Amino acid sequence: MNFKKITVIAFAFILAFLAAPLAAQQSVNTVIPDSLNPANDPVYQQYLKRLDSLYAAWINLRLPLVQYQDTSIAFKRDTNIVELPDSIFVQRLAAIPSAIELTYNKQVRSYLDLYTKTRKKQVSIMLGLADYYFPMIESKLDAYDLPLELKYLPIIESALDPRARSKVGAQGMWQFMLGTAKLYKLKVNSFIDERLDPVRSTEVACAYLKELYSIFGDWHMVIAAYNCGPGNMKKAIQRSGGKTNYWDVYYYLPRETRGFVPAFIAATYIMNYSQNHGFYAVQPNIPIIADTILISQEMHLAQISEVLGVPMGTLEYLNPKYRKKIIPAAGGPYDLSLPADKVSIFITMQDSIQRYKQNVYLAKNNLDKQPAVRTTAKPVKPSGDDVAVSYTVKSGDNLGYIAAWFGVGISSIRDWNGMSGSSLRSGQKLTIYVPKSSVEDLKEINDLTFAEKQSRVGKENGTGQAEEPVVAASKSDTNFVYYTVRSGDNLWTIAQKYPGVSHEDIMKLNQMPSSRLQAGQVLKIKRKEG
């Protein structure tokens, strides 16, 4: 289905057309001018190509999964094609009990010839699928009080293929675009696409068709609007000067939609008179009698197939909505369709099936993974006799202070303790590497007050910042000075205070990954001679 995008604005169109007399919206058996030879009509040719494409999809993609029964009988009955007069088609169409008018004209005749003469293989396959799907579709149409003849709509939409996909992204037997599917609450995600579920998509199609009829009040108009969308149908009516009969707006419709109603009428005919033309259904080898159960366990269809001995193609055919062949656990329970004779066995063995080759079909190698623990190696020590001392973090400490007290770089403390950031907690134990000659002097830092620790690198002014930027180093570390960063400082201005020192020297000595500074940060600066 192309362009089936519905918006609230489109449905506002009800107000404009429901005011018209109901009698004026009823279709009449109008024969449109034959100025265009249908056999050469681009719309007809486009439909022909589309039908061929749908058939090719079945042959190439479906037959390897679901083997059809012997097709030789059905496909060899057309050796003597009899050209029927128009009067026979008119008579037969009139005899079909239908709430939808089955108009006859040359446009319709073109599609009748297509089905009865040139596409007999496709029709034979669709007859077999109709035996499988029509009972379900009829029950849904009846529940919505809709004409049962609408069951022929998915024949021209998808050739009754629940996995059909159009070039513009419409999917499923009823060919819903994603926007329409979401509007009608069809579930579509990476694992499930209910557009491919024959039952759920049929329910939505019924709701959609009923709303379209409430707008246009004419089944031909509804069928065309189902294909092109109510917005395009509204435009066609406006361009026609307000006509509300399909044949009156025919040439105002999008080209791909013009053949939709003639094709629908032809499909209705061939499904009712198939045997008159030598057609016999080709039944797919899928179980006609199937049953559905609800499950909440995650399973792969291959697990079910291998344990129960049901062909994988059969399970895929019965459960087309599972995009990855996986029935997910989240958001369930979900339905599973099985051959009726396998249901009781499945119920008995359900837990065993779920565990069968679980690591093969339901592998989730990353669901319980945690980020790898940082294992940064200790950097090369300044000298061969560096040893580790321990420091217990106190309330109010930060890495800048601690680095200044021990005369090391902030990034070194991070690396030595496997830290990815700079946050600390009170009571945390830090390992710090210092020269062996400084160990006894630096061990006492653990026992000092914050003021005493700050006094070792500068005068404390009550805010944690030194009043003088140039401060003395620890007793055994007279080759360096320490500078406490103030608001407004940058590395260039700080380097200017120390002859022979560049901002690159400061960054390298303090192992700084960037030139960003924070007020209160303590920088270690090597003294230069002179």
Q: Which residues are catalytic?
A: 157
440: which residues sit within 8 A by CB, 6+ positions away?
none
Structure tokens at 481: 């000075």
d(CA 118, CA 327): 41
Could you give the count of Cα atoms lying within 13 Å of 12 in the half-sphere of its Cβ?
Answer: 3
Cite the DSSP H helix spans in 6-152: 8-11, 14-17, 42-57, 72-75, 86-95, 106-113, 120-143
Distances (CA, A) of 381 to 73, 249, 377, 378: 89, 88, 12, 8
φ, ψ dihedrals at 299, nearest 5°: -145, 150
Q: Which two tokens stand for residue 117?
A: 């003469």
**Three-state SS sequence of 233-276:** HHHHHHHCCCCCCHHHHHHHCCHHHHCHHHHHHHHHHHHHCCHH
Phi-psi region of 501 (alpha: psi -120 to 50; beta: other; left: phi over 0): beta
DSSP 428-470: -EEEEEE-GGGHHHHHGGGGS-HHHHHHTTS-B-SSSSBSSSS
Distances (CA, A) of 274 to 76, 152, 268, 387, 492: 14, 14, 10, 95, 92
Q: Where are the alpha helices (DSSP H) in 461-500?
A: 491-495
Residue 66: burial class (beta carbons within 10 Å; 0-12, 13-18, 19+): middle
If phi over 0 gives left and psi between -120 and 50 gives alpha, with beta otherwise, what is residue 506? alpha
Q: What is the dihedral of CA 220, 226, 227, 230, to 10 degrees?
A: 100
Query: What's the Cα-to-Cα distance from 346 to each of 84, 266, 307, 359, rounded to whole Å?
Result: 53, 43, 9, 20
Per-residue b/e over 450-475, b at no fewer than 16 CB within 10 Å? eeebbebbbebeeeebbeebebebbe
- Burial tier of 363 (Cβ tally within 10 Å: 0-12, 13-18, 19+): exposed
CA pair distance 141, 240, nearest whole angstrom:
31
Contact in structure between 225 and 2 (CB atoms under 8 Å): no
Phi/psi region, residue 418 (left: phi>0; alpha: psi -120 to 50; beta: rest), is: left
Residue 152 in tokens:
């022929």
d(CA 25, CA 370): 66
